[in-house]
Amino acid sequence: MSVRLTGDWRRARRLLEGSARKLRGGLVAAVREEARRAKDEVVRGVRAQAPGGKPLDRPSPLTLASRWLEGVRGRGALQASGELLRAITYVARGLDAFVGVKRSARASDGRSLAKIAEAQERGAGPIAIPMTPAMRRYLGVLRARGGGEPSGGAGGGVVVVTVPARPFLKPSFEAAVRGARRRLAARVGRRLGLGPR
Q: Tens digit of pLDDT for each residue in 6-28?
A: 666 676 666 666 677 778 888 89
Write out the H or E segment, with its range, that includes residue 162: strand 158-163
Q: Per-residue pLDDT for 43 more than 90?
A: yes
The more confidently predicted of residues 97 and 192 is 97
CA 84 to each of CA 31, 72, 76, 181: distance values in angstroms, whole numbers, following the listed order: 24, 14, 12, 30
Can you tell me the mean pLDDT for 52-73?
87
Q: What is the pLDDT of residues 83-137, one digit of tens each?
A: 999 999 999 999 999 999 999 999 999 999 999 999 999 999 898 888 888 888 8
Q: How far apart are CA 99 and CA 195, in angstroms?
A: 29
High-pLDDT (> 70) share of the chain, %: 84
**pLDDT band of 153, cuts 50, 70, 90:** very low
* Average pLDDT for the chain: 85
Asked if residues 93 and 31 have their Cβ atoms less than 8 Å apart, the reply is: no
CB 185 within 8 A of CB 51: no
The model's confidence at residue 154, banded by pLDDT at 50, 70 and 90, is: very low
Where along the chain do its domains lie? 10-123+164-191, 124-163
Q: Which residue has the higher pLDDT, 5 or 89?
A: 89
Helix intervals (H) in 49-149? 61-69, 83-87, 113-122, 133-145
CA distance 194 to 9: 23
Alpha carbon distance 50, 73 (integer Å) = 20
pLDDT at 156 > cutoff 70: no
As a whole number, mean pLDDT of residues 70-76 equals 85
In the chain, pLDDT over 90 holds for what percent of residues? 45
Give the mean model confidence (pLDDT) for residues 170-184.
92
Q: Does the pLDDT value for residue 45 go beyond 70?
A: yes
